[in-house]
Amino acid sequence: MTMFHFFNCAILTFGPHAVYYSATPLSEYDTLGTSVKAALVYLGTALVKLVCLATFLKVSENDGFDPYQELLKAVIGFIDVAGLYFALTQLTHRNISQNHKFQAVGLGWAFADSVLHRLAPLWVGARGLEFTWDFILQGLEANANLVLSISLAALGSLMWLRKNKPKTLIPIIYACAGIVATMPSITSYLRQGLGWHFPKVVGFELFTSLSMAFISWQLFSACQRPSS
Amino acid sequence: MANSKKLGGLREMLESMYSVIALLFILVACVELCDAAAAVDVYRLIQYDMSGSPFGSRFAALNHHAASLHFPPGVDLSRTVLIIPLRELNITFVREYINQKKPLGGLLVLLPEVLSFKTGGNKQVHEKEKMKNLLAELERLLVHSNIPYPVYFAFENDEIDTVLADIKKNDLMGQPATATTGGYKFVIPTAEPKKVASPTMTNIQGWLSGLKTDGDANQLPTIAIVASYDTFGAAPALSVGSDSNGSGIVALLEIARLFSLLYSNPKTRGRYNLLFGLTSGGPYNYNGTQKWLRSFDQRLRESIDYAICLNSIGSWDNELWIHVSKPPENAYIKQIFEGLSNVAEELDLKVGLKHKKINISNPRVAWEHEQFSRLRVTAATLSELSVTPELLESTGGLFDTRQYVNETAIVRGVKLVAESLARHIYGHQGKNIQIFADESSLAVNPAYIRSWLDVLSQTPRVAPFLSKDDPFVMALKKELAGHVDEVNVQHETLEGIFTFYDSTSSRLNIYQVASVTFDLLLLLVLGSYLIVLFSFLVITTRGLDDLISLFRRPPSRKLKTA
C-alpha cells in the first residue's frame, strides 16, 4: 500500500514531463538530446549554486526570514538564469526550430530539478507507513515548476535568440523574465516571512505559474507575428 | 584485440557500477527512518511457561489498525489492536474476551500517568483503592491466562491521548479508516520473544560478627534478618515492587546501618552475630532462599538463633502480622513474639500472630520463613499482609508503586524490629529502654529510607531479567558492604517449573495511514489528469485532428506493413 502511494506521487511528480514530451511535437522532432543536455547544464548550475550558497550564506540558527540573506539568495538564484542562457545559446543543437528548442530546454531543466529535489524525499517519505498530504502537494509543486521553467525558457529565447522583436514589448519581456526568475525567492518569502502553510504556497505557485505561462505565451505569439 | 580490451574495460566499469549501486542500496536502507506520528514506550505482558503450560502474552510483534472500546458491534477484531485506558476498563468485558478466546489483534492497556516512575513522580493518586483493586484483578486475570496475541501496557500522555480521541471519534461515527478521518496503525517491530537461557538468581549475604570474649569456646549465636528483593508482575519492565518487597529491602538496609553503628564500638558490640540476607527468587516459592540456606554449613545453620524475614511492610496503618509455622506455644516463637509485641505496645502499634503449618509435600512456599522452618531453623515473617498470598501474587505488581507506600510506616517497622533485636542482643527483655530513640545519634534515618525507597521504586527487579552483575545488584551489594564486615554474593540458576521469555519492553510507533481505497481513488484522479493534460497539449500544439488521428493510426500502420 505504501509502495502504491509512492507510485502515485511519482506519477504526479514526473508524469507531466513525459506527457509534455510525448504530446507536443517535441517527440516528433526527436529533441531528447537537447533536453538531456539542458538537464546536464542544470546539474552544473546547481553545483555552482551550491558552492555559492555555501560560501556566501550564513547558516541561520532560527528559521526566521532574514531580508539580507534572502536578497543574497535571490541574487544567487539568478545563476539559474545564466545557466539557462548557456543552455539556450551556447549549446550546439541539431537544427531544430527556436520554437522547439526552448521547450526542450525548459523540459529538461524542469525534469532535472524534479529529480534532484524531489526524488529522494519521495523515496524516503512516501513509502513510510505514515500518511501525509505533503508528497501529493510536492507533486503539484513539480507541475507548477514545469510550467514556470518552460515559461522562463520561452522568455529567454525571446530575449536572446530572437533578433527582430517589437521594441515596445522588450521591457515587458524583461519584467516577466525577472518575475519568473525570482519566483523561488517569492515563495520562500511567503513560506518563511508570512508563515503560509504548504497547501497555500502550492496553490499560489500553481496560480502564478499558469498566469505567467499565459502571459509568456501571449508575448511569444506577439513576437511571432511580425516575423511571419 | 582492441575489441576484447574494450569489453574488459566495459566489464570493469560495470563492476564498479555494481559497487556504486550496492552502496546506493545500503544508503537507502540506512535512510529507512521511522517518522511516526507518535512513538510511545510500551511494556509487554509477561510471557512464561509454568510446568510446560504457556501463560501470558505469547506474541510480541504488532502491526495492526487501532480501535477503541467504542468499536461498532459485530466487527471482526482479529486484525485490530484494542486500546483501553484503565479508567474505562471493564474487567468483565476483558475476562469474557480472554476466557472465550475471542480473536483480537492485540491489546494495549493505558495506565494513568501517575503510576509511571518516569513522569508520575510523587503525584497523588485519585481513587487509590479503586484503582488498586482494578489493577490487581486485571493482573491476576492476565498473568494466569494464555493469551494468543500481544498485550502491552503504556502510560497515558498527551500524544497518545490525542490519538485515542481521534480513534474514538472515528469508531463512534462507524467509519473505516481513511486518510482524511485518520486511521491509525500501531507497529511494534520486535523479533519473536526468545527463552531466557538459564536465568540466574543472586543472593547477597552480609555478616556482622559479634564480640567474642577469650574464654568463650562456643560459637556465638546468630540472628538472621532476611528480605527477598526480586519482583514479579504483569509487566516485568514495570514491576518495581515498592512495597513488595522494596519496603523490606529498605528496612533491612536501615537495620544493618543501625547495628553497624552499634557494632563498630567494642563497648556496644553485642554477643550475637548478625546475618543479613537479600535473597532472590522470592516469587518462585523462595527458591533463592532455599538455595542460600542449603549452601550454609551445618554449624552455621545450627548457630542461627532465629531469623526474621521482612516482607511488605510499607503500607500498613496500625497492625503488623507475624507469620510463623511452628505453633505459638513453642518457646522460641513465644520469645520472638513477646519481644516484638512488647516494643509494639510502647510504639503504639499492634502485632498479631498467625500460625500456618507447613505441608512438606506441597511445593508451594508462601512465606520466606517457611524455607527456614523446613530446615528446622526458628523463623518468622513480619508482614502487613494478614492472609497468605497465592503463587505470583503480592510480589510487586502494576499498582505496587511509590504512591502506595508510606515512608513513616517503614520507619515505624524498622524501629519495631531494631528495638526488639537490640533488646534481645543486649538482654534488656521487658525493660523499657529506647536504644533507637528519635533525636538520638541512633535514630532511624527517614531520609535514608526515602532515598532508597525512591531508587527501588524506579528499578524493575524481575529475577530472570536481572543479569549476574546487574548494576542494581552491585549497588545493593555495595550498600550492604558499607554496613557490615563481610559481604558475599552467591549466584544460583533459577531452576524448577518456570521458563521466561524476553522482550519485556519496546517502542510503539503510531502511524496515521490512508486506506487502499484512497490510493486507488488518487490513482484514478491522477490518471485522468494526465490524460486530460495530454489531450490538451495535443490539441493546442497540433490540433484536434491530430488527437483523433492518434487513435486511428495503429490500424492504418498494420495495413501498411501487411
Contact B526 A25 (CB under 8 A): no
A63 touches chain B (CB under 8 A): no
Contact (Cβ atoms closer than 8 angstroms) between residue A35 and residue A104: yes
CA distances from B50 to B143, B471, B501 (A): 11, 28, 12
Contact B522 A128 (CB under 8 A): no
The secondary element (H helix, E strand) that includes residue B106 is strand B106-111
- Chain B residues touching residue A131 (CB < 8 angstroms): 179, 511-514
Nearest CA in chain B to A127: B32
Contact B179 A16 (CB under 8 A): no
d(CA B156, CA B142): 20
Contact A8 B37 (CB under 8 A): no
Task: Please give the pLDDT value at position B508.
Answer: 92
Average model confidence (pLDDT) across chain A: 84
Contact A16 B519 (CB under 8 A): no
Computed from CA positions of residues B500, B502, B506, B510, in that sequence, does the dihedral angle turn out positive or negative?
A: negative
Half-sphere exposure of B294 (CA within 13 A, CB side): 8
A118-143: average pLDDT: 85
B278 closest CA partner among B286, B269, B270: B286
Contact B530 A23 (CB under 8 A): no
d(CA B26, CA A140): 30
B542 touches chain A (CB under 8 A): yes
The number of helices, as runs of H, and strands, as runs of E, in chain B is 14, 19
Predicted model pTM: 0.77
User: How far apart, in Å, do the first and last CA atoms of chain A sit?
Assistant: 54
Per-residue confidence in pLDDT tens, chain B, 562 aa: 445 555 555 566 666 666 666 666 555 444 444 456 688 999 999 999 998 899 999 999 998 888 888 877 777 788 889 999 998 888 998 999 899 988 888 999 999 888 887 665 555 666 778 888 899 999 999 999 999 999 999 999 888 998 888 888 888 877 655 445 557 889 998 889 999 988 899 999 999 998 887 666 578 899 999 999 999 999 999 999 999 899 999 999 999 999 999 999 988 888 899 999 999 999 999 999 999 999 998 888 889 999 999 999 998 888 999 999 999 899 999 999 999 999 999 889 999 999 999 888 888 899 999 999 999 999 999 999 999 998 888 888 888 988 889 999 999 999 999 999 999 998 887 777 888 888 888 899 999 999 999 999 999 999 999 988 899 999 999 999 999 999 999 999 887 789 999 999 999 998 888 777 788 888 999 999 999 999 888 888 777 777 777 777 555 444 544 4
Q: What is the ipTM of this complex?
A: 0.86
Q: By CB neighbour count within 10 A (0-12 exposed, 13-18 middle, 19+ buried), where does B523 fall?
A: middle
Dig out the grid coordinates for B269 from the structure.
558490640
Helix axes A134-160, A170-181, angle to 10 degrees: 150
Q: Quote the minimal CA–CA distance from B173 to chain A in Å.
A: 21
Q: Which residues pair with B205 in a beta bridge?
A: B277, B488
- Chain B residues touching residue A136 (CB < 8 angstroms): 522
The residue assigned the cell 542544470 is: A42
A182-191 pLDDT, tens digit per residue, is 888 888 888 8
Task: Please give the pLDDT value at position A86.
Answer: 86
Q: Which residues pair with B462 in a beta bridge?
A: B231
Task: Please give the pLDDT value at position B352.
Answer: 93
A192 touches chain B (CB under 8 A): no
Beta carbons within 8 Å of A4's beta carbon, 6+ residues apart:
B516, B519, B523
Task: Please give the pLDDT value at position B468.
Answer: 86
Computed from CA positions of residues B111, B117, B118, B124, in that sequence, does the dihedral angle turn out positive or negative?
A: positive
A174 closest CA partner among A204, A219, A205, A110: A219
Q: Quote the minimal CA–CA distance from A8 to chain B in Å.
A: 6
Task: Please give the pLDDT value at position A169.
Answer: 80
d(CA A186, CA A196): 12
Q: Cis bond leading into B245, ω under 30°? A: yes
pLDDT at A67 over 90: no
Computed from CA positions of residues B482, B483, B488, B489, in that sequence, does the dihedral angle turn out positive or negative?
A: negative
Q: Quote the minimal CA–CA distance from A27 to chain B in Å.
A: 12
The torsion angles phi and psi of B531, rounded to 5 degrees, stand at -65, -45
User: Percentage helix, strand, coil, to 5, in chain B?
Assistant: 40, 20, 35
A19-28 pLDDT, tens digit per residue, is 988 888 877 7
- Chain B residues touching residue A11 (CB < 8 angstroms): 523, 526-527, 530
Task: Please give the pLDDT value at position B34.
Answer: 43
DSSP per-residue letters across B215-265: T--SPPPEEEEEEE--B--SSGGG---IIIIIIHHHHHHHHHHHHHHHHTS
Task: Please give the pLDDT value at position A63.
Answer: 61
Beta carbons within 8 Å of B12's beta carbon, 6+ residues apart:
none
Q: Where in chain B are the domains?
A: 38-195+505-514, 200-493, 519-552
| Cβ pairs bridging A and B (under 8 Å) | 73
3-state secondary structure B506-547: EEEEEEEECCHHHHHHHHHHHHHHHHHHHHHHHHHHHCHHHH
A108-117 pLDDT, tens digit per residue, is 999 999 999 8
B386-429 pLDDT, tens digit per residue, is 999 988 888 888 889 888 899 999 999 999 999 999 999 988 87
The residue assigned the cell 522568455 is: A155
d(CA B419, CA B430): 12
As a whole-number percent, the residues of chain A with pLDDT over 70 amount to: 93
**Among A4, A15, A124, whose Cβ lies nearest the Cβ of B530?**
A15
Choose the CATH number for B200-493 among 2.60.40.10, 3.40.630.10, 3.30.420.40, 3.40.50.300: 3.40.630.10
Beta carbons within 8 Å of B46's beta carbon, 6+ residues apart:
B56, B57, B143, B232, B233, B234, B235, B236, B462, B500, B504
**Among B28, B36, B537, whose Cβ lies nearest the Cβ of A19?**
B537
Dig out the grid coordinates for B270 from the structure.
553485642
B390 touches chain A (CB under 8 A): no
d(CA A45, CA A112): 11
Neighbours of A218 (CB within 10 A): 13
Task: Please give the pLDDT value at position B2.
Answer: 46
Beta carbons within 8 Å of B323's beta carbon, 6+ residues apart:
B354, B355, B356, B367, B369, B380, B381, B382, B383, B388
The residue assigned the cell 533536453 is: A35
Question: Residue type at A108?
Answer: G
Beta carbons within 8 Å of B381's beta carbon, 6+ residues apart:
B308, B309, B310, B311, B322, B323, B324, B367, B368, B369
Question: Residue type at B115?
Answer: L
Task: Please give the pLDDT value at position A112.
Answer: 92
Beta carbons within 8 Å of B427's beta carbon, 6+ residues apart:
none
Contact (Cβ atoms closer than 8 angstroms) between residue B161 and residue B117: no
A164-223 pLDDT, tens digit per residue, is 777 788 888 888 888 888 888 888 888 877 888 888 899 999 999 999 999 988 888 887
What ranges in chain A are assigned the alpha helix state H?
2-23, 32-56, 67-77, 79-85, 98-125, 134-160, 170-181, 183-188, 198-227
